[in-house]
A and B are shown apart, each in its own frame.
Chain A
Amino acid sequence: MATGQVIFYTKGYLLDLKKRVKLLKEGFDILSKKRDELISKLMDYLEELKKMRETVISELINIYSQFLYLYSSMSENKINAELVGIRGSLVVNVLPISVMGVVVPQIKLMRSPNINAISNVQLVSIVNQMNLLLGKLLKLIELEAKIESIAWDLQMTNRIVNALEKIVIPDLEETIRKINDMIEEDMLEEFTRIKRIRDIILKRREGK
């Protein structure tokens, strides 16, 4: 029984409790389904994340290694000359969207830095590859944030479901059982008392 809960051993309270248990059971069913769905979504996203991360990391290593070779072969002056005209910065917009009631971020690339000033063909190729990868990187970040939000929500849902399943509903059912017992006892007592009164009344009538 939940601590601090005042119990009224009345039929009205019993009915009220039964309604509450019914509602909690419905809530439990819905939350269990949500939990299962969240687990299934989380598994899908994790699978997707694994593949995407592998691709992004291997592409990143490839681009980085190509850049290192280029950086090693070009003089620093040349690299600096290429980078002078790069303007603007990366601007992204993060929108909150709801997936099964879980708020997850959606990242939109609004503006990339202007790289038109780069004229070295090899550097252009590397920067173009990096620009393409940037979209994938943002998707990866979005997916990771999504997984984190869903995992957190799953944890909360799981706690609620467990609390309902193992504590709240059994407690209330126990309380209902107790109230039921008490009411039955009261009724039996009342019945016995009425019977005895009836017997006494009958005896008195016979005496007269």
Chain B
Amino acid sequence: MSYIAIKAHVMRSEIIKSETYRRMLLAKNLRDAVSILSLDKGGIWYYEKIAQIEPNEPKLLNRVIYDVFLNKVTHLLSSVRVIGDKYLRVYMVRYIESLVFSLLKASFWKKRIEISSFDLGILMKLFGDKIKRLALLERPKEILEYYFSLIAYNKSEAFIENILSIASNLKDTFFLEAILRKSYYISLFNKAKETTTDVLINLTGIEIDITNIYNLLVARSHNYPYNLIDMILIPNGLKITRNQLIRYYMMENISEIPQIYQPLIVNYVQGNISENIGLEYKIYLKHLQNITVRDPVSIPYVVYILKLLEIEKYNLQLILNSFLYGLDKENIGKKIILY
């Protein structure tokens, strides 16, 4: 076996195998399901931590899963020594997106939320000491500036003032989030272009397509006018053009939307949203499965493994929570993503 094959095999072996998920779904209870994780090389990471807590406490369980997930990400990045890579640095900002957005919303509506030291501790593993600054930010403007600095995207003070004033007039923080996501993906796309790797450019393009579709659906429920749609649409999508998206927004005709994305819209319109759970991961995976291992320490392969780790976290959360909430295992079996 060549070094490349061995290295790739080792990286892949840290991911929980599909068979383990199947066996977990057959377990009688949560404890049995957790103990099955100990038999899988990738699952031991989760097993060791979950075994130390009371898994019947959903809040704690989900936090531990998130903690282990970030540990695995940190381990992966340090093992392939790509921590300083520009693309990955921007890519990983998605892992603190929800925290930044909740702080932004809280400060916008003049509420106060505390970031727990537990959360800060978890995030420091990946983002270092600069994450501590986040806990000190209070004004929306400061949080926006912080986010732009994280994604290495320069925006003028006037731009920030402008989007804040639009959000104030709309009394709607979704607009701010949509603008932040747009900035994030523009920055990520630029970094992907710098790597000149088609896989990354295309993957970012797919993520942009899905984000645009989701943004349009939310914007419709908020009755956004055309000029705002224009502001939140992210350029450089892979399969849908800006004009196609605007035409869809105006006429609600999905015939122009590529077939791969149509279920996302159809399920949303029919109110059958649970069918959409995990669908985007399936789309990403379909795209990433064609990846060839020429270099296991290359950024595309690392991103592929990162996506698998995200899917692993999603699968685990879904399976373990299904025991807590008594969800139908057959249905869960259809929703987990096997790779």
Interface residues of A (CB under 8 A from B): 65-66, 68-78, 80-81, 84-85, 87, 114, 116-119, 121-122, 124-126, 128-129
Contact = CB atoms under 8 A, between A and B. Distances in A.
B108 interface: yes
Contact of B177 (A68, A87, A119): A119
A117 B66 contact: no
Main secondary structure of the interface of A (DSSP, over half): helix
Contacts of A73: 277-278, 314, 317-318, 321, 335
A80 B119 CA distance: 13
Contacts of B331: 69
Nearest to B271: A129
Interface string B267-283: 01001111011100000
9 contacts: A68-B327, A69-B327, A76-B63, A77-B102, A85-B109, A117-B105, A121-B268, A122-B268, A122-B273
Contacts of A77: 66, 98-99, 102, 119
B71 to A, nearest CB: 15
Interface in B142-178: 170-174, 177-178
B173 A85 contact: yes
Contacts of A117: 105, 109, 172-174
Given A65-B274, A72-B318, A117-B105, A128 B221 contact: yes
A84 B113 contact: yes
Given A73-B318, A78-B98, A118 B174 contact: yes
A116 B322 contact: no
Contacts of A75: 62, 65-66, 98, 317
B178 A119 contact: yes
Interface in B110-131: 111, 113, 119
Nearest to A74: B317
A124 B277 contact: no
Interface residues of B, number: 47
Contacts of B102: 77, 80-81, 84
Contacts of A124: 217-218, 221
Given A73-B321, A77-B98, 4 more contacts: A78-B98, A85-B106, A119-B174, A124-B217
Given A72-B317, A76-B58, A84-B113, A116 B222 contact: yes
B274 A71 contact: no
A128 to B, nearest CB: 6
Looking at B108, B109, B171, B274, the one whose CB has the most chain A CB atoms below 10 A away is: B274
B174 A72 contact: no
Contacts of B274: 65-66, 69-70
A114 B119 CA distance: 28
B277 A69 contact: yes
A128 B273 CA distance: 11
Looking at A70, A78, A85, the one whose CB has the most chain B CB atoms below 10 A away is: A85
Nearest to A118: B174
B325 A72 contact: yes
B284 interface: no
A31 B271 CA distance: 49
